[in-house]
Chain A
Amino acid sequence: MKRERQAAASELSPREFLRWMWRQLTSMRTALSLLLLLAIVAVPGSLVPQRGVDSRAVEAYLTDHPKVGPVMDALGLFSVYTSPWFSGVYLLLMVSLIGCILPRSLVYLKALRARPPKAPRNLLRFPASRELVTSSSPHDVMEAARRALGRARVDVVDTDGVSELSAEKGYLREAGNLLFHVSIVIVLVGVAATALLGYRGAAIVVEGDRFSNVLTQYDEFGSGALFDREKLPPFSFRLDNFSATYQVDGPQRGAPLSFEATGTASDGVDGQERPFSIRVNHPMKVGGASVFLVGQGYAPVIKVTNPDGQVVFDEPVPFLPTDPTYTSNGVIKVAEAEPEQLGFQGFFLPTFAIGEDGATRSTFPAPYAPIIGLFVWHGDLGIDDGLPQSVYVLSKTGMTQYMDPDDPEEGYEVSLEPGESQRLPDGHTIEFVELKQFARFQIAATPGIQIPLIGIVAGLLGLVGSLSVRPRRTWVRARREGERTVVHVAVLDRVPRVDLPADLDDFVRRLQDRLAPLDEGETP
């Protein structure tokens, strides 16, 4: 016996094997397992930083975990949602879905044209069935049953003294079911389409500066495989003013109330300038893209003058905020300084106060008492050797820190409020000219975004249909026996339910209301 089965198994031709695989893949059980697997493989992406979400956090994680980090990287744990194993699961799920939908659609199309199944011989063998008697004729019973059924597909067979009625309703359930599953495929296709065709980037723009939609102006940029990076639609905008308001009193002191970026924008290469206002939740549409306000911070304007009085650096430097009071960190790289380049690293505080422990900290996000504090390095900034370098990180390998002449253990400090300047040990002068603000914009174009939206809305409609419609078969058989008619009724649900007997009672009541009573009444 066992050997026979083995032999049978080994005799599966490749074609049969494929067929068997396809059956397995498209079975309900497999679809369910794949669905659960998809949920499980999505988990690590929420616990480990992701490149697509926060690439800086990934770099920090790799620095903090030099041993495990690279292994996790190789496994794709920092880009879970584009990893081969995640894609594998969802592609399998999609194939399984399609494999489910196609045959079921054919069955459904056939069922739509089919008549309700004929009444089985013995209706009283169904768990939900009933016998009753009446003096009405079988023909009248059929008519009454037809009306009591309401909207259903009904067939009636009348043969010498025995009438049979078969009814079926709830066809929309399967339609809803199919629509729901088809819409999942539409959503998956739509998501893939928007990801392939769109682009998204982020840029920091300081007040008074202009942003042009070219690759070099972006701090971060990502685009789909089908998007040509050379063909970014031409548009530009100038940030004139950034305003932020904060709660000034009460327990929520310092909580942000509003952020607004205003300026002028022009569509195309030399389009008309028009004013714009961008707030959180209210993006600007320009050049087929949308410009979103996603962050803000301070950019002190720093001027560095060499010992001869020549200006070697004069520009706003964005300091990235690290907490709700806008304690911000930043780096200044003065490449023009000679004979050695200068590098500054430190903090900016919008409203500084000196605590009891002597430490300087920020107490409010608005700039009531701004200050910058910097440490100074001299040497080679390492930006001439062609390697790309972040503007927010100071590479200290080729540099030496200036130390405090009074205490060689401590670094030499620059501390400036707006308008102040300080002479450095090498004779350069650094000045905090004025304070500007910067806005961080996300610029995104998502062509095809309607596809997943339409898909998911259709899916919701299908879902509601498949969950609320109850498919039901009802059979009624009436046989004339002398002066009376014996009626057998049975109902059957395609989806098992505990309250079927109650529904049967309800139907029988409606049926009896339309029939002539018999003197003896109903037999049990």
Chain B
Amino acid sequence: MTLEQLGRLSNYSVASATAVLALAFVAYAAQWAFARNSMVRPEPVKVPVGADGAAAEPETDRSYAAGGIGFSLTALAEVILLVGVVTRGLAAERVPWGNMYEFSCIAIAFALAVYLLLVRLWDIDWVGVLVTIFATIVLGSSMLFVYVPPGPLVPALDSYWLVIHVLGAITAGAAFLVGAAASVLYLIKDRAERNTPEDQRTGFLWRMPASASIDQVAYRVHAFAFPIWTFAALIAGPIWAQAAWGRYWGWDAKEVWAFITWVFYAAYLHARATAGWRGKAAAILALVAFGTFVFNYVGVNLFVGGLHSYAK
């Protein structure tokens, strides 16, 4: 296959993956919609390792089927997207993360991988609806707004730190996305638990684990991501910056926002151990932190500029 053909195959794959992801989102949305009137006891907590995953109730309905379809479609999208990422790398003859379009593709591939893995481990398919819609939007808009044809790396990126620094940031970002989705659902469930009388508890929300379990999922994902983010943004980044620009930290816009993201996630982890901040306030901090992460990616790349702006 020629490089042009590989490039085209990559484009088709990414586009198809986006379409399949959109369908996965529809399936996950149906998972919620079909359970609208059902009255179900909360599923047993499956978060801890070793707890028995009690089989779903026999009255398993269309909601469960839709959830299964959503999971399968997400897995399919991941496979197609990986084909897109790999062929992109082959077409450009380098690692496939050298500009914003490629960052988006591989970041979503990682996010879906983290999500699929955690569904297997902890049965968290209830965050699927948020993860798939977010991934669809990111992939779709990166094809529309920041697409560039495959090509060589700009000299500044031609370093093995590109592998370490960028992969670290992407891995952390993928986990941050799943963590943020869990935090959103925690806030919704926590509110519902306090405001909904026992006899009105119908719908998918009550099939999800109790808010405390969701909170723990969110915490664990964040606790996994935070050290990786620390490594990517505050160790690998400065080492590379020192080699490339002669200063390890220069308050470039990207650096400032990476630091702000770090501080907010540190505050989140701190808040979970501080009286009066536990629970709702901590979850909101995690979402603000994710907001700063997304702003750093979208806002700083496209509107603020700075040394990292070759990312587009």
Q: Interface on A for B, CB 8 Å cutoff?
A: 28-29, 31-32, 35-36, 38-39, 42-43, 45-47, 50, 52-53, 80-81, 191, 194, 200, 247, 250-252, 255-259, 279-283, 290, 292, 294, 442-444, 446, 449, 452-453, 456-457, 459-460, 463-464, 467-468, 495, 497-499, 502-503, 506
Contact = CB atoms under 8 A, between A and B. Distances in A.
Contact of B256 (A43, A200, A280, A442): A43
Interface in B118-159: 148-149, 151-152, 154-156, 158-159
Contact of A499 (B156, B216, B230, B263): B216
Given A251-B151, A467-B269, A39 B260 contact: yes
A464 B227 contact: yes
A456 B152 contact: no
Interface in B155-205: 155-156, 158-159, 161
A463 B155 contact: no
B230 A463 contact: yes
A35 B227 contact: no
A46 B45 contact: no
Contacts of B247: 200, 442, 444, 446
Nearest to A468: B223
B213 interface: yes
A252 B151 contact: yes
Given A39-B264, A194-B248, 4 more contacts: A457-B235, A498-B213, A499-B48, A499-B51
A32 B274 contact: yes
Given A255-B152, A281-B244, A467-B226, A46 B253 contact: yes
Nearest to A500: B48
Nearest to B217: A498
27 contacts: A28-B270, A28-B274, A29-B277, A35-B270, A39-B264, A42-B259, A46-B304, A47-B304, A194-B248, A247-B152, A255-B154, A280-B244, A281-B155, A281-B156, A281-B243, A283-B243, A292-B246, A442-B245, A446-B242, A456-B234, A460-B230, A498-B48, A498-B212, A499-B45, A499-B48, A502-B50, A502-B51
B64 to A, nearest CB: 24
B251 A467 contact: no
B106 interface: no
Contacts of B240: 281
Interface string B15-50: 000000000000000000000000000000101101
A258 B50 CA distance: 54
A35 B161 CA distance: 29
B50 A32 contact: no
A280 B155 contact: yes
Given A28-B274, A35-B263, A42 B246 contact: no
B226 A463 contact: yes
A452 B248 contact: yes
Contacts of B244: 280-281, 292
Contacts of A495: 273
Contacts of B155: 256-259, 279-281
Contact of A247 (B148, B151, B212, B230): B151
A46 B296 CA distance: 10
B246 A36 contact: no
Contacts of A47: 253, 304
A460 B245 contact: no
A81 to B, nearest CB: 5
A282 B242 CA distance: 10
A353 to B, nearest CB: 22
Contacts of B212: 498
Contact of B231 (A28, A292, A449, A460): A460
A52 B253 CA distance: 12
Nearest to B223: A467
Contacts of B277: 29, 32
B246 A463 contact: no
Interface string B254-292: 001101100110110111011111000000000000001
Interface in B208-248: 210, 212-213, 215-216, 223, 226-227, 230-231, 234-235, 238-240, 242-248
